[in-house]
Amino acid sequence: MIGEFWAMTTEGDGNYELQKFLESEGAEVDIQGVTNWLLFMIWENKFDRLRRIELRRDDDGRKGLKGKNASKTLLTLKLADKLVRAHFQMYAKAVGLNNYHLPNMDEIAELAAKHYDNNVRGGEGHMEVGKLVHFVEDRVNHMTVSVKPFGCMPSSGVSDGVQSLITAKYADAIFLPIETNGDGKVNVQSRIQMMLFRARQKAREEYERALEEASLSENEVRQRAAVGRFASSMWRPRHVYAGNATNIVYAVSGAWWRKRLLAWSPVRTLGALFRPVRMLRPSLEQD
């Protein structure tokens, strides 16, 4: 679930109790956390300062950089980003949430930049578009629901318009925008059920493909998953595809490692190691 901050995080009539309804239909709901929003605000400040740093002599506004040490400000923002991530991981590991990765805001911005200008602000800005592209390209989920109040201009008026382009470009994307307005709850739930049908088909196809690649039956997977570390309620399989059931098949069979070895390319690996760092600072000619 993505969308307007309050509408996607509340669990009540404000969003038709969407989380509870989706879970009752068998879905696993992933709500974007407060930490993601904090990281986005830090990213915004860093991006803006990199845009203004070349003209700081004339930047005498209330939050301008004239007479200030811009490098110190950027260093402070970088430290803030690391502190937020470290604080989150400390509590995550304490409750058993291991190997959970917070989003890289620079990567999300880069994914969205081709379709949504990073300078456009309001609400979550480019994040909704960047998240959907990320979800599809990295096979994070089977379906994305964007919920927002009626008339939310950043999400309904801007992001949703761009999302139609994303869904046209990525045929596998299942995207459903929901506005909390005067429509009855039943109407909203009916729309969700239609999309869930497609999502279930997608999940089933990847699960059956994984069983075939692993040369295992469903009963054999269940037997292997009932022993050792796989039986722990806090254990999560390594991410390969969107579905947890599919990832469990790869984990208990070892098929994930074979898949990675077959796809491994020394040239691609060396290229990734020596890839030049993409500078966020624009040139004066671009301005």
Whether 267 shows a pLDDT value over 70: the answer reads no
For residue 19, pLDDT beyond 50: yes
Average pLDDT value for residue range 249-268: 64
**What is the identity of the amino acid at 226?**
A
CA dist 146 and 144 (Å) reads 7
Q: Letter for the amino acid at 176?
A: L
Helices (H), 12-140: 18-24, 34-52, 70-94, 105-113, 127-137
Out of 85-94, 155-164, 185-194, 272-281, pick the least confident.
272-281
Q: Rounded to whole angstroms, how far apart are CA atoms 285 and 132?
A: 31
Q: How far is Cα 55 from Cα 37, in angstroms, rounded to an integer?
A: 28
146: helix, strand or coil: strand
Coil vs helix vs strand at 285: coil
Side-chain-side CA neighbours of residue 143 (13 Å) = 21
pLDDT of 15 reads 86
At 225-237, the pLDDT tens digits run 888 888 887 788 8
| pLDDT value, residue 14 | 82
Least reliable range by pLDDT among 4-8, 94-98, 179-183, 270-274: 270-274
What is the sign of the dihedral through the CA atoms of 255, 173, 102 and 22?
negative
Residue 63 DSSP code? T
Here the tokens at position 234 are 């806090």
Q: Give the integer Cα–Cα distance in Å for 85 and 100.
A: 11
Contacts of 193 (CB under 8 A, 6+ apart): 25
